[in-house]
Amino acid sequence: MEEEMHTDAKIRAETGAGSSPRGPGCSLRHFACEQNLLSRPDGSASFLQGDTSVLAGVYGPAEVKVSKEIFNKATLEVILRPKIGLPGVAEKSRERLIRNTCEAVVLGTLHPRTSITVVLQVVSDAGSLLACCLNAACMALVDAGVPMRALFCGVTCALDSDGTLVLDPTSKQEKEARAVLTFAVDNVERKLLMSSTKGLFSDAEGSAPSTNQSLPRSSSSAWLRPRRLRNTSSASTGNRCRGVTPRAETSWGRGPLPPPPPTHPLQPEANQRPSLASRSYGLM
Amino acid sequence: MKETPLSNCERRFLLRAIEERKRLDGRQTYDYRNIRISFGTDYGCCIVELGKTRVLGQVSCELVAPKLNRATEGILFFNLELSQMAAPAFEPGRYLNLFLKLLYISDVWLKISKMIYLFKIHFQVWQIRVDLHLLNHDGNIIDAASIAAVVALCHFRRPDVSVQGDEVTLYTPEERDPVPLSIHHMPICVSFAFFQQGTYLLVDPNEREERVMDGLLVIAMNKHREICTIQSSGGIMLLKDQVLRCSKIAGVKVAEITELIQKALENDQKVRKEGGKFGFAESIANQRITAFKMEKATIDTSDVEEKAEEIIAEAEPPSEVVSKPVLWTPGTAQIGEGVENSWGDLEDSEKEDDDEGGSDEAILLDSIKMDTGIEVSDIGSQDAPIILSDSEEEEMIILEPDKNPKKIRTQTTSVKQEKAPNKKPVKRRKKKRAAN
């Protein structure tokens, strides 16, 4: 694929032009994706980021139980299964995050009184699991032909004790970091769909990853674009989320954020993002 | 989700084809589908594909106290999960019969076969846990699961342990290389499907064939032609020579499958030793339209910090909707004030709470009217959280108990609307209780 080669060439050119002061940590691990590998689900995808691997299967739009049906849109359900043991609270909270992200992009009103089920199976976990799950879910929804208004992708960043930003951390890097942040961004308007943070970080550090995560996102979207089967409408959903706030643990889907504590008066607006992606990548 | 029922014409077609010794995918009666084994980067992780049926297996271990009645034996814990991905009908709670049957079969053959020797380490034993996840159901789950379990157990490496007198030292993988489990033999299950009251048999039935079969015979055997388990289900009545014939076929099949497993394990070992690439990433095919790979991508983040500071400087300050936490009593705090009270508008569609709720309300109403509430206004203007002494009320609330308190819900459409007013009385009640 020409576009793929072009992407690779561009990346190599960028790295050749001097190493960034942020250090060698800023690179995405080798990633791979395969679609339509299972015969029973309507759509399936396997997403690998380094050694982390997640398999996603989508059933839908299909029949829904009367207790769960919503009269004007589809009921989206996300099930995340860990590899060892029974699913616990951590899986439930990740399921909720992924479900909120998917609900923001899936055009559920086109299929009222149906159910769209996304089943995720963790095949191996070596860091950035939530981002990998988000990516696998998106690819599986695309493979199933579920109408969406945008594609989305997930990226995890880790901030270690001296403020160095590491993208797509491994489990060892995640353990040693003082803050781990995961973001989900859509690719039509580059808006922040979901943000899940753990740890301690300041304002500026928090907004830095949310600005630069558009870069890794565009590399995964580079392939998503030619594969996109549906025209996504340009109508904004109004997913205006504020930037991250310094809290011990925050996670939210779309919708207004809780008011920040008074000691930090300024908060960045996530949608006032500069055209950083277009400058250094020039893909979109 | 409900399983799509099999149509009568499909059933008839399949049975007629079997009578003529024909299978939908072109196999012969005794042919197995293609088996593909791939390993992950962790030890003990593998994915086995039997045709389109896909099973993920993972082995993990831990040191635990032994069972009271088996103080010297290790524990082997086996879990087969029929993921909802595998078939739309595999919802938790549904399909219990099939699941239990599969679990029982798998459990039985694995335990009885005692394939692993787990020894005691000074008051503790190894607990080996095998988790199998069915990812895609295209028939013959039992065989695929058995192959996955055997492969995963053979591939697994447990941490090394040394015992010196009373001291037990458990080494991490960095200190000492992990050790493989001691495996006596590898029992593999072979399934036979019977049709037309035992007249016709097929080896390795796929999903369609399983739907029309009369019964299933499962034989677990190892390559030394020792039968570990025979299980027959479905109520078919088989003759002795039928069972003997099946066991002979099973012997041949098991030998082939065991050879395949050995080869796969050797390949993986070789690749790991030579330092080549291993893991699931390698099993994704190149040059396929449904697959995509991308090498490590470095991202230039040098000017991100400046950009971030620019954004913060340019952004407007957030609106002053800040509410301080209000401490009612030690252990009860409140942030925010909730939304506007809209009880007045929804008098018609008010749902009646339980009688207890109603009587509670009546009692509290009196106490409110007697209280002289302290108006706590300008909550947002102070810096420290506000601690109130007693009988705090934010605002005077005058409820009207005589206006049809026992309204029965008449409308069923506006469910959401009714939920909102239900929440508010609960909120108010809690506050008052904390205050008193």
CA distances from A62 to A77, A116, B193 (A): 12, 6, 31
Task: Could you list the beta-strand ranges (E) of B196-331.
Answer: 200-203, 215-221, 227-233, 291-294, 297-298, 326-329
Q: Extract the tokens encoding B189.
A: 């299950």
Measure the CA–CA gap between A44 and B431, rounded to whole angstroms: 49
A26 Cβ under 8 Å from any chain B Cβ:
yes
> What's the gap in Å between the CA of B48 and the closest CA on chain A?
13
Burial class (CB in 10 A: 0-12, 13-18, 19+), B348: exposed
Are the beta carbons of B24 and B17 closer than 8 angstroms? yes
Instruction: Identify the residue with better confidence: A17 or B188.
Output: B188
Of A40, A235, A43, which Cα lies nearest the Cα of A146?
A43
Chain A CA closest to residue B82: A81
pLDDT class of B317 with cuts at 50, 70, 90: low
pLDDT in tens, B402-428: 655 444 444 444 444 444 444 444 444
B88 vs A62, A204, A265: nearest CB = A62
pLDDT class of B337 with cuts at 50, 70, 90: confident
Mean pLDDT on B84-112: 67
What pLDDT score was predicted for residue B345? 59
Q: Extract the tokens encoding A11.
A: 């990346």
Q: Which of B54, B85, B174 to mutate to test the interface with A (most CBs of A within 10 A)?
A: B85
Give the residues across from B81 on adjacent strands: B133
Query: Which residue do the tokens 């580079």 mark?
Result: A222
User: Does the complex come out with an ipTM higher than 0.90?
Assistant: no
Q: Interhelix angle for B304-314 vs A203-212, to 10°?
A: 110
Beta-carbon separation of A124 and B131 below 8 A: no
What residue spans of A40-123 are helical by DSSP H?
89-105
Beta-carbon separation of A265 and B317 below 8 A: yes
CA distances from A102 to A58, A92, A138 (A): 12, 15, 8
A135 Cβ under 8 Å from any chain B Cβ:
no
Dihedral of alpha carbons B253, B254, B260, B264, sign:
positive
pLDDT in tens, B153-198: 999 998 888 878 777 788 887 888 888 888 888 889 899 999 988 8
Are the beta carbons of A251 and A98 closer than 8 angstroms? no
Interchain CB contacts (distance < 8 Å): A and B: 214
Are the beta carbons of B105 and B141 closer than 8 angstroms? no
Chain B CA closest to residue A48: B281
> What's the gap in Å between the CA of A267 and the closest CA on chain B?
6
CA distances from B161 to A205, B73, B116 (A): 44, 16, 17
Q: Interhelix angle for B415-435 vs B355-370, to 10°?
A: 50
A284 Cβ under 8 Å from any chain B Cβ:
no
DSSP state of A163: -
Measure the CA–CA gap between A259 and A245, rounded to whole angstroms: 10
Range scoring the smallest mean pLDDT among A46-55, A249-258, B398-407: A249-258
Are the beta carbons of A37 and B292 closer than 8 angstroms? no
pLDDT in tens, B15-63: 999 999 999 989 999 999 999 999 998 899 999 999 999 999 999 988 8
Q: What is the pTM of this model?
A: 0.71
Helix (H) or strand (E) run with residue B141 in it: helix B141-155
Q: What is the DSSP pairing of strand B200-203 with strand A27-28?
A: unpaired
> What's the gap in Å between the CA of B39 and the closest CA on chain A?
11
Beta-carbon separation of A38 and B54 below 8 A: yes
Measure the CA–CA gap between A89 and A76, rounded to whole angstroms: 19
> What's the gap in Å between the CA of B318 and the closest CA on chain A?
6
Helix (H) or strand (E) run with residue A208 in it: helix A203-212
Q: Which amino acid is at B384?
A: A
- Residues of chain A positioned with their CB less than 8 A from the CB of B87: 40
- Residues of chain A positioned with their CB less than 8 A from the CB of B316: 269
What pLDDT score was predicted for residue B97? 55
Are the beta carbons of B277 and B271 closer than 8 angstroms? yes
* Non-local CB neighbours of B119 within 8 Å, separated by 6+ positions: B72, B74, B125, B126
pLDDT in tens, B208-239: 999 999 988 989 888 899 888 888 888 788 88
DSSP per-residue letters across A102-127: HHHHB-GGGSTT-EEEEEEEEEE-SS
Query: Which residue do the tokens 């390795």 mark?
Result: B204
* Non-local CB neighbours of A251 within 8 Å, separated by 6+ positions: A93, A97, A194, A195, A196, A197
Q: To the nearest whole percent, how much of chain B has pLDDT over 70?
A: 65
DSSP state of A22: T
- Residues of chain A positioned with their CB less than 8 A from the CB of B287: none
Beta-carbon separation of A211 and B308 below 8 A: yes
- Residues of chain A positioned with their CB less than 8 A from the CB of B45: 83, 123-124
